[in-house]
Amino acid sequence: MKILILGGGVFLGAAVLDSALDRGHELTVFNRGRARSGWPTGVEAITGDRATDLGLLAGRKFDAVVDTCGYAPADVRKSTQALRDSAIYCFISSISAYKSFTHAPVRETDRLADYETIDPSDRDLAHYGPQKAACEAEVRVVFGERGLVVRPGLIVGPGDRSGRFSHWPWRALEGGEMLVPDLGDDEPLQFIDVRDLGAWIVRLLERGERGAFNATGPANGPPCSWADLVAACQDEAAKRAAPELQPTPVAESFLLDQGVEPWSELPLWLPSEDAENHAHSRVEIQRAERTRLTTRPLGQTVAAVMDEGVPAADDARRGGKLTRAREAELLALWRAVAPDAPA
């Protein structure tokens, strides 16, 4: 297939590029040339800004377009119009496009966020969910039934610039007593390795799939719990002869009382009692599974993140997250209120 990626230089776009090349497809990337400049042999790179330079694609049509960097509805309007003669337009949206997470499971047919008040040029990610919903609407206007929309949950693995999932493998490598939110064994965690997502997106294109798909993991297997994540981090750290790790579960109510910020400060933690969060990790992926989404064992994702090396404390990927000093302070306070907690 002749495939165009809008983006393609980093993380998900790069994973789609790698998978598509492995499968023998012919690739064009369109981006500003900031995130990456060197491309594999045979890849056509067009340098331009999607907001202003889509004329560079005039007269071109592709078997599939993968739009990994659509945030402002006005940009997606321009790109869908410019590429309207292409056979498939695959827009990378997000589960954040859904209106509500108070009920589970979250299905593709659920209502999307209201976006009527979103300024088409709005790139402020404070409005991320409604923006993605508005971008999806732009895809529908031009591509209708031919449109393909992928709504990923948290994307993790090598190359992740957010450090949200990576926080845990990196922290495990440092050893010592590690604070873990105590959500019990039943609370699921969902995320998807960027390499699995990239490979599956290429499969969707090859199969000529249309419509909307949730995309997260684990696929075709039992749910993942916090205990599974901690165990995988502990196992992989042990293989690397890292200092011994002692995970200490700490009650969620205590963390909230101490003002620990869910998700941002303590990555991946969404308080289990919060009804607004309930369905965030209960996203249904049966449609994706039926189209051969597969996800690798968790240990492989953890290992790949560890292989990137632990970034320095002032690295942007660690910014805003629990520091070792704050963790030690919280653990000491926790031990005072929960004397049975392991020392």
Ligand X SMILES: NC(=O)c1ccc[n+]([C@@H]2O[C@H](COP(=O)([O-])OP(=O)(O)OC[C@H]3O[C@@H](n4cnc5c(N)ncnc54)[C@H](OP(=O)(O)O)[C@@H]3O)[C@@H](O)[C@H]2O)c1
Q: Which C-beta is closer to ligand X: that of 191 or that of 226?
A: 191
Residue with tokens 């331009």: 48
Stretch that binds ligand X, among 8-16, 116-124, 229-237, 283-291 (CB under 6 A): 8-16
Residue from 19, 31, 79, 86 binding ligand X (CB under 6 A): 31
CB of 197: closest distance to ligand X in angstroms? 9
**What is the pairing mode between strands 26-31 and 88-92?**
unpaired
Q: Counting every residue, how long is the chain?
A: 343
* CB atoms inside a 10 Å sphere around CB 22: 11
CB of 252: closest distance to ligand X in angstroms? 23
Does residue number 32 form part of the binding site for ligand X (CB under 6 A)? Answer: yes
**What is the full DSSP assignment across 68-133?**
----SHHHHHHHHHHTTTSSEEEEE--GGGBS--SSSSB-TTSPBPP-TT--TT---GGGHHHHHH
* Selection from 309, 300, 331 nearest residue 174 by Cα: 309
CA distance 156 to 167: 11
Q: Which C-beta is closer to ligand X: that of 86 or that of 234?
A: 86
CB of 135: closest distance to ligand X in angstroms? 9
Does residue number 51 form part of the binding site for ligand X (CB under 6 A)? Answer: yes
Stretch that binds ligand X, among 154-162, 168-176, 244-252, 284-292 (CB under 6 A): 154-162
CB of 201: closest distance to ligand X in angstroms? 10
CB of 342: closest distance to ligand X in angstroms? 33
Burial of 343 (0-12, 13-18, 19+ CB in 10 A): exposed
Q: Where would I find the H helices in the chain?
A: 11-22, 73-82, 128-143, 167-174, 194-207, 226-239, 252-257, 286-290, 298-307, 324-337
Residue from 64, 112, 118, 154 binding ligand X (CB under 6 A): 154
Give CA 95 to chain center in angstroms: 9
CB of 95: closest distance to ligand X in angstroms? 7
Does residue number 9 form part of the binding site for ligand X (CB under 6 A)? Answer: yes
Does residue number 12 form part of the binding site for ligand X (CB under 6 A)? Answer: yes
CA distance 99 to 112: 5
Residue 20 DSSP class? H
Helix (H) / strand (E) element for 28: namely strand 26-31
CB of 191: closest distance to ligand X in angstroms? 8
Residue from 4, 8, 170, 327 binding ligand X (CB under 6 A): 8
Stretch that binds ligand X, among 31-39, 173-181, 293-301, 318-326 (CB under 6 A): 31-39
Lay out the site mask for ligand X across 161-200 (x = CB under 6 A, - = otherwise). -x--------------------------------------
Contact 192, 295 (CB under 8 A): yes
CB of 76: closest distance to ligand X in angstroms? 10
Does residue number 155 form part of the binding site for ligand X (CB under 6 A)? Answer: yes
Does residue number 13 form part of the binding site for ligand X (CB under 6 A)? Answer: yes
Q: Per DSSP, what are the bridge partners of residue 225?
A: 188
Does residue number 158 form part of the binding site for ligand X (CB under 6 A)? Answer: no
Task: Name residues contacting ligand X, limited to 61-90 (CB under 6 A).
Answer: 68-69
CA distance 180 to 231: 12
- Give the interface with ligand X as residue ranges (CB under 6 A): 7-13, 31-35, 49-51, 68-69, 92, 94, 152, 154-155, 162
